[in-house]
Chain A
Amino acid sequence: MSLDLDTALKAITNAVAEINAGLADDKQISSGADDVLFGADSALDSVGLVNVVMAAEQHIGDESGEDIVLASEAAMSRKRSPYRSIRALAEFAVETAKDGAAE
């Protein structure tokens, strides 16, 4: 089963909602697809980032049946971080799922 961008966007948005459920009102993560998720100006710390990324992996698994890994050395050494926005993470997920299927 392959992963399309809309499914990935929906899954990651749901993942952010899941993490937000456990966060105080002033710590909520913005859920706009193009808002800064993790970057120089974001409020997210490293534990928060990992929470979002791992919840995203689970939601993508729930939605598409794809078992993908979004935190890897390859992801972190990219010139443009795949964690900069929900959209960037969704695009990265689609790409990762494709690479996985090609192997």
Chain B
Amino acid sequence: MSTGCADFLLSQMAGNAKKSALVSNEGTTTYGELLEQIAQASETLSQAGVMAGQSVQLRGDFNTVSVAYLLALLNLGTIVSPVAPTSFEKATEFADVADVSWIVDGFSGSISKASRDSKHPLYDRLRKTNDAGIIIFSSGTSGVSKGALHSAEHLLSKFKTPGKDFVTLAFLLFDHIAGFDTLMYCLSNCSTLVCPTERSAVSICELIQTHNVEVLPTAPSFLNLMLLSGAHENFDLSSLKIITYGAEMMPQPLLERVAGAMPKARLVQKYGTSEIGALRSQSENSTSRWLRIGKEGKDWRIVDGLLEIKTKTAMLGYLNAPSPFTKDGFYKTGDRVELRGDMIRFEGRDSDIINVGGQKVFPAEVEAELRELDGILDAAVYGAPHPILGASVGATIQVVDDATSPADLRIHIRKGLAGKLEPYKIPQKIKLTTDALVTDRFKQKRQ
């Protein structure tokens, strides 16, 4: 049985068969070729016995095989959790949370049976309406990832309205909500998606020049990195019409430097979360962080300084966490905002989360790893504003004795954390002390 929620995309593609769909260093796939690959992927899935309503993990990236399987899986009516290479180390944890029955490799195209059962009360809601699902994972408190389950029908509905056709760079990740949004926007307008194999400033600038990229959806920390490295001066980036940014706080001076370095490109802030999808929004102008995201009262409201959003594209719920919705259906974003007329401006997150260049770091997770190391009694991890990454990770560490030199202790800590935590979670600033790290009321001192 096919639910065909991606059929509207497939019929668009059929009318644009000769146009380039995906471009990478390995070559170009046209929309006609992509359609053939989707048909082949559908055939392979049905031969393997993959059925509607089952939970399937797709380990892939922006490439022809992965995109073909993603669309084939959605059309078949499965519940898909995409996992990009940057999250492969968490793939097993994600497979457990999503209780996946199948794992599809988006590079080789191989399909393997997983020893799980696709069971979850929220999945039953999708099955009742024969709807496909999409699971987006995001970091949760204490570092455990939360799986947000979306109805594919709802998430894809906004792409039925025609948009603009731009050559777009797939900078954001395949398993992030914003990366999914970039992909679907491009496919729904039969635009060309340029797929990077790495995301260094030089390789991204080179791709923009080679393929005349018009839209670069990115993050403030990448823009900062690009300006610092000077890579933008070595390539012709004049094809760029729009640069979108989101995922983290954009410092006003950086926004102005980007606008100065690339005066022809329009700078547009985007807003979205794994829970509510990527919203259509409008920046006041290229050097403004003020943003319109729909109608106040109906689509959003501010409660105690924090933004709450109501949208049709919201998830059904988390697979492994309590509902973050209010009784009347607003999602509590946890983002602190300022209000001016009908526009909002983001001030930061209302929690302990440290946002390092768009990646979330939970102090509790880092503290737990630090406490495992020899010679360390306790640790308090905190975020501090940083002009390059938005925030940096700092740690105050209580050591057993101060006989070892600070530099040697720091080396011991860095070596001990390497391989256990992702590089962006390893404290950049390490303060050593022999004093206790709890206050006299037994609350942890994080500053």
Contacts and interface: CB of A to CB of B under 8 A. Distances in A.
Given A38-B229, A45-B200, 18 more contacts: A14-B407, A18-B407, A22-B415, A22-B417, A40-B230, A40-B231, A46-B221, A48-B423, A50-B386, A50-B388, A54-B392, A55-B428, A57-B429, A58-B429, A59-B407, A62-B406, A71-B388, A76-B254
B49 interface: no
A73 B385 CA distance: 12
Nearest to A42: B229
A58 B423 contact: no
Given A14-B407, A40-B201, A83-B228, A47 B253 contact: no
Interface string B208-245: 00000000000001101101111100100000000000
Interface string A69-84: 0011101110001010
Interface of A: 14, 18-19, 21-24, 38-42, 45-51, 53-55, 57-59, 62, 71-73, 75-77, 81, 83
A32 B222 CA distance: 26
A77 B428 CA distance: 22
Nearest to A83: B228
B356 interface: yes
Instruction: Identify whether the interface residues of A are mostly helix, strand, loop, or mixed.
Output: helix
Contacts, number: 90
A71 B429 contact: no
Given A39-B229, A40-B231, A58-B429, A47 B389 contact: yes
A73 B205 CA distance: 23
A71 B387 contact: yes
Contact of B389 (A14, A50, A62): A50
B407 A40 contact: no
Given A21-B414, A22-B417, A47 B357 contact: yes
A45 B222 CA distance: 9
Nearest to B392: A50
B418 A22 contact: yes
Interface in B401-447: 406-407, 410-411, 414-415, 417-418, 423-424, 426, 428-430
B173 to A, nearest CB: 15
Contact of A40 (B202, B417, B426): B202
Nearest to A46: B225
A102 B418 CA distance: 40
Contacts of B387: 71-73, 75-76
Contacts of B428: 50-51, 54-55
Interface in B132-159: none
B388 A21 contact: no
Interface of B: 200-202, 221-222, 224-225, 227-231, 234, 251, 253-254, 257, 356-357, 386-389, 392, 406-407, 410-411, 414-415, 417-418, 423-424, 426, 428-430
A51 B234 CA distance: 26
Contacts of A14: 407
A45 B414 CA distance: 17
30 contacts: A14-B407, A18-B407, A22-B411, A22-B415, A22-B418, A22-B426, A23-B418, A39-B230, A40-B234, A41-B202, A42-B229, A46-B221, A46-B222, A46-B357, A47-B389, A50-B386, A53-B388, A54-B392, A55-B428, A71-B386, A71-B387, A71-B388, A73-B253, A73-B387, A75-B387, A76-B224, A76-B228, A76-B257, A81-B228, A83-B228
A47 B228 contact: no
A72 to B, nearest CB: 6
B253 A77 contact: yes
Contacts of A59: 407
**Top 3 closest pairs, chain A to chain B, by CB:** A22-B414, A22-B418, A54-B428
Contacts of A71: 386-388
B230 A81 contact: yes
A27 B414 CA distance: 14
Contacts of B406: 58, 62
A36 to B, nearest CB: 10
Nearest to B202: A40
A46 B229 CA distance: 10
Contacts of A45: 200, 225
